A and B are shown apart, each in its own frame.
Chain A
Amino acid sequence: MTGPDARPLLEVAGVSVRFGALVALNQVSLGICGGEILAIIGPNGAGKTTLLNAISGFYHPYEGRIVFDGKDRTHLKPPDVAALGIARTFQNVALFKGMSVLDNLMTGRLLKMKGSFLLEALYWGPARRQELEHRAFVEHIIDFLEIQAIRKTAAGRLPYGLQKRVELGRALAAEPELLLLDEPMAGMNVEEKEDMCRFILDVNGEFGTTIALIEHDMGVVMDISDRVAVLDYGRKIADGAPEQVRKDPAVRDAYLGVSHD
């Protein structure tokens, strides 16, 4: 197992995000170390997805800095963020519903594809070689996620749990260093959740990918994450090992809602 390094892969320093008068994130600072699984938890509206969106470049912070791999990239746009090696999945599945699973995964490779429009259109020479290489890579992901049987099925026809898995596959196809998962297990049954947990742990273990995930199922969070960060009303109120966070009275008040006696 590859344990987390000390080096922070991503550093969020004093980031605030505002929508008009609404402060969604208030001076949040958070480091994500290379190789770790970080869970971000918090009640609804705490700013978890906003934080992910800020990291992946959908929102730009009103103050603060985001440093990835030692370089400041607070103001990059989403495609540039993706090119740096940050991939994500969405809370509501965002696949191309009419396209096959295979084609959906191939879109995850788009950033890695070079070459001219004409050669691509003719499927000739380097374009053909390149396509085959990418296809081989995608096939490894299909094997890894055990979705061989649905390779040619249109994504929109799949049950929800499988769509989530395909979306994870598309993110993996970009060979990310940092993977952001927005509620990867929402709406799944127990068996699908177990499968997803196993895939997340395997991605982390086999590829050494750093993972930040938002999740509401506390059992899952406690089981798979190395570290848990808790947000409440746009502020970070706790950050530490799962056991430590679970015992933190501020977290109980804000999130778990357990009265402490």
Chain B
Amino acid sequence: MDPQALEPDRDTFPRLVRHNAEHRGHKVAIREKDYGIWQSYTWREYFAEARLIALGLAALGFTRGDKTAIIGDNRPQLYWTVMASQALGGVPVPIYQDSIEKETQYIIDHAEVRFAVVEDQEQVDKLLHIKAQCPYLEHIIYDDPRGMRGYSEPFLMGLAELQELGKKFEVGHPTYFDDELARGKPDDVAIICYTSGTTGVPKGAMLSHRNLIVTARNAAEFEGLQSDEQILSYLPMAWVGDHIFSYAQSIVTGFAINCPESAATVLHDLKEIGPTYFFAPPRIWENILTNVMVRLEDCAWPKRKLVHFFLELAQDIERARLNRQPVPAWRRLLYPLGRLFVYGPLRDNLGMRRIRRAYTAGEAIGPEIFVFFRALGVNVKQIYGMTEASVFITVQKNGDVRLDTAGTPIPGVELRISPEGEVLYRSPGVFLGYYKNPEATRQTVEDGWVHSGDAGIVGHDGDLRIIDRAKDVGRLADGTLFAPKYLENKLKFSQYIKEAVCIGQGRPFVTALINIDLAAGGNWAERRNIAYTSYTDLSQKPEVYDLIHQEVERVNRSLAEDEALRGARIRRFLILHKELDPDDEEITRTRKVRRGYIAQKYAALIEALYGDREHVEVEAKVTYEDGRTGTIRADVRIRDVAVPGDSVSP
């Protein structure tokens, strides 16, 4: 059978949900923890609820091609709304719930959104503020009625009220829903995902039902996903990854998704659910690891020693395995003992006992974090994906996992490297184009091949390695190769460094702007009785500079081993007086550094790095979540790093 072919009764998401409601109607489709209890909804309920939402929208005048903005934490009601919009031939446009007003307004206006379905009062308030600037926006529907009693705007409505409206509408139009559902085609736009964009304004990637269904199915087959998988849906709905895992794959394979109680309870809910399939960006893995380590420090010493001993053992074994080296017999013999005393209980405690496969993607993961979880027996794998490809491009195969690769292409995906070193791909998941931006679409897609914008190499084993953003790979003034992200990732592997920005393009040597990690750095300072009042204060402590200095030297040592990168060692650095923040547009919501903007904003600091001063005074603008702005003033120190065996001095 042609892997791209779709059965006619299962070629759009609403039809797939209907199929699930008919064939596995009593199976749980979605759970939400509410009032302390996991409330379940079956596939039949999923379809029925979504149907009523659709009828309610129809009663308000929803027509084919209309856009529905969806804003909020992961809630069953919002997933149903995605399906409801699709069933009416509309297009859901999920928006990050923590986006500031300006960003939200841009997307609502650009996508010509008529209907917004949001979680609660907070989001309603945001939309009310910007409604005057969004001429297309007509109706705002909220799920949680809490705090909404004082609102009298005629265009506001609760979701329950909307469903009631749907019931009434159905009386006069009994076949409306089925007729609309029947009109849907697999090549219709199923969703528009706005990419955060490290440069310029967000672009809306249009993905069709076919893109998503075929990709979700291919990846599910490649990974052997079953209909009994459990996942935790806790990553933003606006991110294409959540859409694939919590919506597309759940519907295609029929597995259940679980919505946490609140953003603050995610790790606790993870433990209660014990997912079998788990996805987390590197920062979440890192958080979990940091939590474990901090709690371990509070244990009595015999326990601490025991745990450290066995964790070291497992990590040594795992490192050897990843490097394809033999493992000594005594270590192999001790491993089961460690599993009994440490790895098993720890995995259980983290809610990772049942994980059959877990992914990390988005950014490079620190080797020690990756090794730590694999050593515990959690099958973490790296994947490489993009919005424009319906996520999946490459995945590491079970049993063929390495530290520094992104795996091999999944079925249906073709990969090649352009003469300039850029990764190009072609697949059934390749998007229809950017909404209202044919210019950007033309620049990205050429003869069906998508320019990923990443520089990479394909090894002789077929494994893809990503080095950096293609446009960021540059050269120093003397022509030495300079890959900033590669350096930054190496720096960020330190638990004390949260973000780093390396500079060197066209410069005589490499310098770095560093953000310390307030949690780890603060803990480190407290243990040494170093008093600090704020992030700014802590960041400028000489002791903290010494700490980061060691980390920079560690990175330089590892660079020195590589002939091509020797010249790109870091010679001067400073610690930024404020944290890089998406609200200040310094990094994207998915925490990718926006280099151009930073170079401009911190021009004075960068000039000082290439001058001979030892400190520099700065002022920085900060934007709070409600849109107000303020300034931070500080005196930032600059530190030289000696580079042994090199004649050029800064």
Instruction: Give CA–CA (A151, B261) in the complex, Å.
Output: 12
A198 adjacent to B264 (CB under 8 Å): no
Interface flag for B147 (CB, 8 Å): yes
Instruction: Give CA–CA (A97, B490) in the complex, Å.
Output: 44
Interface flag for B172 (CB, 8 Å): no
A151 adjacent to B149 (CB under 8 Å): no
B262 adjacent to A149 (CB under 8 Å): yes
Interface flag for B330 (CB, 8 Å): no
B265 adjacent to A206 (CB under 8 Å): no
Chain B: which residue is nearest A150 at the CB level? B264
Closest chain-B Cβ to A138's Cβ sits at a distance in Å of 9
Residues of B contacting A151 in the complex (Cβ-Cβ under 8 angstroms): 36
A149 adjacent to B149 (CB under 8 Å): no
Chain A: which residue is nearest B34 at the CB level? A143
Interface residues on B, range: 10 to 19
Instruction: Give CA–CA (A144, B147) in the complex, Å.
Output: 10
Chain B 177-229 interface residues, beta-carbon cutoff 8 Å to A: none
Residues of A contacting B601 in the complex (Cβ-Cβ under 8 angstroms): none
A1 adjacent to B265 (CB under 8 Å): no
Residues of B contacting A198 in the complex (Cβ-Cβ under 8 angstroms): 147
Instruction: Give CA–CA (A11, B36) in the complex, Å.
Output: 39
A148 adjacent to B262 (CB under 8 Å): yes
Chain A: which residue is nearest B33 at the CB level? A148
**Given known contacts A139-B36, A140-B35, A143-B34, is B264 in contact with A149 (CB within 8 Å)?**
yes
B264 adjacent to A205 (CB under 8 Å): no
Chain B 28-82 interface residues, beta-carbon cutoff 8 Å to A: 34-37
Instruction: Give CA–CA (A136, B37) in the complex, Å.
Output: 9
Residues of B contacting A206 in the complex (Cβ-Cβ under 8 angstroms): 146, 149
Residues of A contacting B36 in the complex (Cβ-Cβ under 8 angstroms): 135, 139, 142, 148, 151
Interface majority SS (helix, strand, loop, mixed), chain B: loop
Instruction: Give CA–CA (A1, B149) in the complex, Å.
Output: 6
Residues of A contacting B34 in the complex (Cβ-Cβ under 8 angstroms): 143
Interface residues on A, range: 10 to 19
Residues of B contacting A226 in the complex (Cβ-Cβ under 8 angstroms): none
Chain B: which residue is nearest A201 at the CB level? B147
Q: Contact partner of A148 among B146, B147, B150, B261, CB < 8 A?
A: B261
**Given known contacts A148-B261, A149-B264, is B35 in contact with A205 (CB within 8 Å)?**
no
**Given known contacts A148-B262, A149-B264, A149-B268, is B149 in contact with A143 (CB within 8 Å)?**
no
Chain A: which residue is nearest B264 at the CB level? A149
Interface bits A145-160 vs B (CB < 8 Å: 1, else 0): 0101101000000000
Question: Considering residues A146, A149, A206, which has the most beta carbons from chain B within 10 angstroms of its beta carbon?
Answer: A149
Interface flag for A202 (CB, 8 Å): yes
Instruction: Give CA–CA (A30, B481) in the complex, Å.
Output: 80
Q: Contact partner of A1 among B35, B150, B261, B264, CB < 8 A?
A: B150
Residues of B contacting A149 in the complex (Cβ-Cβ under 8 angstroms): 261-262, 264-265, 268
**Given known contacts A136-B35, A139-B36, A151-B36, is B262 in contact with A146 (CB within 8 Å)?**
yes
**What are some 22 contacts across the A-B interface (CB < 8 A)?**
A135-B36, A136-B35, A139-B35, A140-B35, A142-B36, A143-B34, A143-B35, A144-B146, A146-B262, A148-B261, A148-B262, A148-B264, A148-B265, A149-B262, A149-B264, A149-B265, A149-B268, A151-B36, A202-B147, A205-B147, A205-B150, A206-B146
Apart from the given pairs A142-B36, A149-B261, 16 other A-B contacts in the complex at a CB distance below 8 Å: A1-B149, A135-B36, A136-B35, A139-B37, A140-B35, A142-B35, A143-B34, A143-B35, A144-B146, A148-B261, A148-B262, A148-B264, A149-B262, A149-B268, A198-B147, A206-B149
